[in-house]
Amino acid sequence: MTATSGDGFFGRREVLAALVAHRDAVARSGSGRIVAVRGRRQVGKSTVVERFVETSRTPYAFVTGIFQASPAQQLADATVALQESRHPFPDAELLTRSPAATWRDWFGRLAIAARSGPVIAVLDEFPWIAAGEPTLEGELQSQWDRTLERLPVLLVLVGSDVAMMDALASHGRPLFGRLSPLVVPAFTPADVADALPGRDPVEVIDAYLVTGGYPRLVTDLAAAGTSTTDHVARSLQDELSPLVTTGRISLDAEFPEPQFAYQVLSAIGASDTANPAFKDLLGSVGDAAERKRVETATTRALATLTGTKRLIEREAPAWAGPGSRLRRYRVTDPYLRFWFRYVERNVDRIARGRSDLAVAAFTRDWETWRGQSVEPVVRDALRRLARGDARLPDVEDVQAWWVRANEVEVDVVARTATRTALVGTVKWRTRGGVTPAEVEQLRRHREHVPRSDGALLAAISPAGGTPPGADVSFSAADLIAAWR
């Protein structure tokens, strides 16, 4: 289900459908389920879960964790939540006559309510609740195994700490084997198109590159009623605008204390090189005189950023073997790429009244940055299109390809299990598409790509169109359709 633009709620078909399926299974079987909902801060987890419970017509309690709240305060709030919803629990007044003394007591009241029929309990910001009560996971496991699992209870745990939410389901933790994970992603380009009715596909892609699909940023841009570039220029003049502040809010949740990993993340996001290699990073994050120490620290930071935090994506050329040393790094989130490039380095300038410098930097290289940042979006779109698009027969993956010194680079290499099916060039210009000369250069570069005999030549540009020499083309509208 997707809400209409009239109420400001867009997308989330898959997330809502998954939650409804869990609710229906609980009602049908009479057995409990725990769903662990995770996603980065500001991505709209609480909003979509709240939407689900309010439209489900099932009694529910929505408990919101408070950062560093005392256990007594959190339990008092959780008790009140048993009756403060649009669909309160049966016998809510009886259940809330006094605050729950412990979480065991609170789960016991949940069990009493569930004996009258299906109920939903949401513990939002679960990591914050658990931080104030170290035994909470164990207590939940105990009460779940003894009672709640045999009752029609849908328990939804929501958290922004991606690493902790993943850890909940890991071997050796109390809830291991009891959780069903559910990820709430940012809006897709198709969702952004729904939120910006009447905008042409090129403008939608621009909006996606700047907002990353963060709901608050998308709705703020929609409310502005201006082009993406005008909205950015205006937002950069206000240190409290969502476009400026959301990045810091999101990153503070990931890095509550100063860490070298953040320094590496910042260096990747702000780099003039679209996807810096390891050696490019070393000069940005440390002193050449301490090269060995910096190399070790950077290696550890990259392991954290690509693994635990999942903020960085490590790219290898198409057909590269597992031992290849050709690696490049990029910030996974489009909005954070934008934020590091144009906001982080200018926050102090904006605060002291020199927002003109931030706007000038954006205006100066927006076209170049946009052309680089759209490439991973193109590759992701083509992977999705490959499921049923005749232009991408039997394609299993889409990557870039390059050689060590970057003398030869191909933006798109679509490959099957055994061969390169298509090579493509991305030219994201405001006016004009891919030229015949650029197609001819792509033809020459194709000779260097492994297993590329007979590979189709693809021209990818905002307006599309197949120039002389190309076999197929893709437009901005095609890319957005990949998420439909």
- pLDDT tens across 406-445, in order? 788 999 999 999 999 999 999 999 888 999 999 999 999 9
pLDDT at 308: 82
- Whether the predicted pLDDT of 34 surpasses 90: yes
Distances (CA, A) of 304 to 133, 261, 299, 325, 341: 27, 7, 9, 19, 21
| Distances from the Cα of 225 to the Cα of 48, 207, 211, 235, 465, angstroms | 25, 12, 15, 13, 29
Indicate if 335 and 227 belong to the same structural domain.
yes
- HEC string of 343-395? HHHHHHHHHCCCHHHHHHHHHHHHHHHHHHHHHHHHHHHHHHHCCCCCCCCCC
pLDDT in tens, 42-76: 888 999 999 999 999 899 999 999 888 888 999 99
Could you give the CA distance from residue 133 to residue 68 in angstroms, rounded to a whole number? Answer: 10
Confidence class of residue 288 from pLDDT cuts 50, 70 and 90? low
Q: Which of 125, 153, 183 is the last residue of a domain?
A: 183
Interacting residues of 198 by C-beta distance below 8 A, sequence separation 6+? none
Same domain, residue pair 73 and 217:
no
Same domain, 295 and 407: no
Q: Are 69 and 49 in contact (CB under 8 A)?
A: no
Q: Encoding tokens for residue 450?
A: 């492994």
pLDDT of residue 274: 64
User: How far apart are alpha carbons 253 and 133 in whole angstroms?
Assistant: 19
- Cα 459 versus chain centre, distance: 28
DSSP codes of every residue in 33-76: EEEEEE--TTSSHHHHHHHHHHHS-S-EEEEE--TT--HHHHHH
Please report which residue ranges of 124-182 form alpha helices under DSSP H: 126-132, 136-146, 162-168
- Amino acid letter, 405: A
Question: In terms of domains, do 470 and 331 share one?
Answer: no
The last residue of a domain, from among 152, 183, 214: 183
Q: Which of 174, 196, 200 lies closest to 187 in space, CA to CA?
A: 196
Do 329 and 350 have their domain in common?
yes
How much is the pLDDT for 8? 53
With beta carbons less than 8 A apart as the criterion, state whether 100 and 71 touch: no
Q: What is the pLDDT of residues 187-246, one digit of tens each?
A: 999 999 999 999 999 999 999 999 999 999 999 999 999 999 999 999 999 999 999 999
Q: Are residues 1 and 17 in contact, defined by beta-carbon separation less than 8 angstroms?
A: yes
Does 201 lie in the same domain as 111?
no
pLDDT band at 7 (very low <50, low <70, confident <90, very high): low
* Structural domain count of the chain: 3
Q: How far apart are CA 146 and CA 110, in angstroms?
A: 13
What was the pLDDT predicted at 9?
A: 65
pLDDT value at residue 460: 97
pLDDT of residue 2: 39
- Is the pLDDT assigned to residue 166 strictly greater than 90? no
Domain with 395, as residue range(s), is: 376-481
> Are 363 and 396 within one domain?
no
C-alpha pair distances (Å), 140 with each of 45, 66, 241, 373: 22, 19, 40, 44
Question: What CATH number is associated with residue 462?
Answer: 3.40.1350
C-alpha of 355 from chain center: 28
pTM over 0.85: yes
Q: What's the mean pLDDT when you consider all of the chain?
A: 90
Q: Are residues 311 and 327 in the same domain?
A: yes
- Per-residue pLDDT at 1 exceeds 70: no
- Tell which of 141, 159, 183 closes a domain: 183
**Does 312 have pLDDT greater than 80?**
yes
Examine the pLDDT at 12 and tell me if it is beyond 70: yes
- Same domain for 363 and 398, yes or no, is no
Name 469's Cβ contacts closer than 8 Å, sequence gap at least 6. 436, 439, 440, 443, 457
Quickly state the pLDDT bin for 88 (edges 50, 70, 90): confident
Q: Which tokens sit at 401?
A: 């390809």
Kindly state whether residues 142 and 201 are assigned to the same domain.
no
Q: Are residues 368 and 382 in the same domain?
A: no
Residues 328-386: tens digit of each pLDDT: 999 999 999 999 999 998 999 999 999 999 999 999 999 999 999 999 999 999 999 99
- Answer positive or negative: Cα dihedral of 4, 6, 7, 10: positive
98: CATH: 3.40.50.300
**Is the same domain home to 427 and 357?**
no
